[in-house]
Amino acid sequence: MVIDQSKMQSLSDRMAEVKGRSPWADARRRFLRNKAAMLGLSILVLVTLFAIFGGLAAQWSNEELDFSVMGQVAQMGQPSLENGHFFGTDNLGRDLYARVVQGTQVSLMVGIVGAGIAVVVGTLYGATAGYVGGRTDQLMMRTVDILMSIPYMFVLILLLVMFGRSMSMLFLGIGLISWLDMSRIVRGQTLSLKNREFIEAARATGVSSFRIIIRHIVPNLLGVVAVYATLLVPLMILTESFISFLGLGVQEPLTSWGALISEGAGTMNYGTLWQLLFPLFFFVITLFGFFFVGDGLRDALDPKER
């Protein structure tokens, strides 16, 4: 039997390439092949670019009033390129395009900052509880169970009413009541890692518990944390939008998707559907984008797919 040396060499090169590929490289390859995930990532990139550079195309500021359309939105404030109101105006004559740009900035910032707070607090809390174990673990997790039994929306509304409806309080309130699920997920993963060989080796060499958690436990949880974080951001945006819809979120002159949707819903009877549709469009596609990316990361980092 004659063996084709060129084919054998090509097969050998491919086997070496697969053998030398890291798990993170495999995950990246699977993620890039996921069409839904790439669509979601493209949507998020476009929305982010709109939030950063969209204001450059605005011919009106978000607070500037167009007196020619004030009180006559249904007749004169419709979307038009000629008057510079690309998305039309609201019932006060303010440019809706500029307000949607600002709403995109605020909603994304609330979602990312709130999710970041929840991820940091939940990861450190859950990893500490899982690694230390014993009574400390029981006390910490029973505290989580008690906090989870309290309606988090009620707690958030109470915080905003008691301490003021500022952006910083909104960030802090959303982040600090959203870390509970993350802590439970991280604790479960930590319990499966704490008896692994590399953790035992670090413990045997005298490495402190704090350094083991920070340098060995947490880095090995980044995959799970990343997947949950992409699903946590849209939850933060939904929470902020609901709070703003109730009138307890961001206050004028700032605005957000929730506040814009609330204003648009209130003027639907006047035939000004653009006030509702434009912010709702950005809100919906952004949520879909995060969900698609989250599903893609979950599939890419699934050990069963390796």
Any idea what the Cα angle at residue 204 is, between residues 198 and 205, rounded to 5°?
Answer: 95
Query: Which DSSP state fits 196?
Result: S
Tell me whether residue 34 is in a domain: no
Torsion angle in degrees (nearest 10) through CA of 105, 109, 110, 114: 170
CB 250 within 8 A of CB 244: yes
CB 111 within 8 A of CB 240: yes
- Which pLDDT value is given to residue 3? 46
**Which of 178, 179, 194 has the alpha carbon at shortest distance from 128?**
194
Tell me whether residue 20 is in a domain: no
Q: Taking the model in full, what pTM does it have? A: 0.77
The CA distance from 137 to 123, in Å, is 14
Query: Which DSSP state fits 57?
Result: G
- Which pLDDT value is given to residue 247? 73
The CA distance from 33 to 50, in Å, is 26
Tokens of 140: 């910490």
- Which pLDDT value is given to residue 179? 86
**DSSP character string of 147-197:** HHTS-HHHHHHHHHHHH-S-HHHHHHHHHHTS-HHHHHHHHHHHHHHTTSH
Tell me whether residue 6 is in a domain: no
- Which pLDDT value is given to residue 139? 92
- pLDDT tens digit string along 4-60? 555 455 545 554 444 545 666 777 788 788 888 899 999 999 999 999 998 888 887
Tokens 């479960």 locate to 188
Query: Which DSSP state fits 95?
Result: B
CA dist list (Å): 179 to 50, 118, 119, 125, 203: 29, 4, 6, 9, 28
Tokens of 196: 């692994």
Tokens 């797919």 locate to 305
CB 210 within 8 A of CB 132: no
- Contacts for 111 with CB less than 8 Å, ≥ 6 apart: 233, 234, 236, 237, 240
- Structural domain count, the chain: 1
**Spans in the chain with pLDDT lower than 70:** 1-24, 67-78, 80-82, 271, 302-306
| CATH number, domain containing residue 168 | 1.10.3720.10
The CA distance from 292 to 285, in Å, is 10
Cα of 124 vs its chain's centroid, Å: 19
Tell me whether residue 229 is in a domain: yes
Tell me whether residue 202 is in a domain: yes
3-class secondary structure per residue, 131-142 = HHCHHHHHHHHH
- Contacts for 52 with CB less than 8 Å, ≥ 6 apart: none
Tell me whether residue 64 is in a domain: no
**Which of 120, 138, 296, 78 has the alpha carbon at shortest distance from 225?**
120
3-class secondary structure per residue, 7-58 = HHHHHHHHHHHHHCCCHHHHHHHHHHHCHHHHHHHHHHHHHHHHHHHHHHHC
Tell me whether residue 23 is in a domain: no
The CA distance from 13 to 20, in Å, is 10
Tell me whether residue 138 is in a domain: yes
User: Can you give the residue range of the structural domain that contains 106?
Assistant: 43-58+96-259+273-305
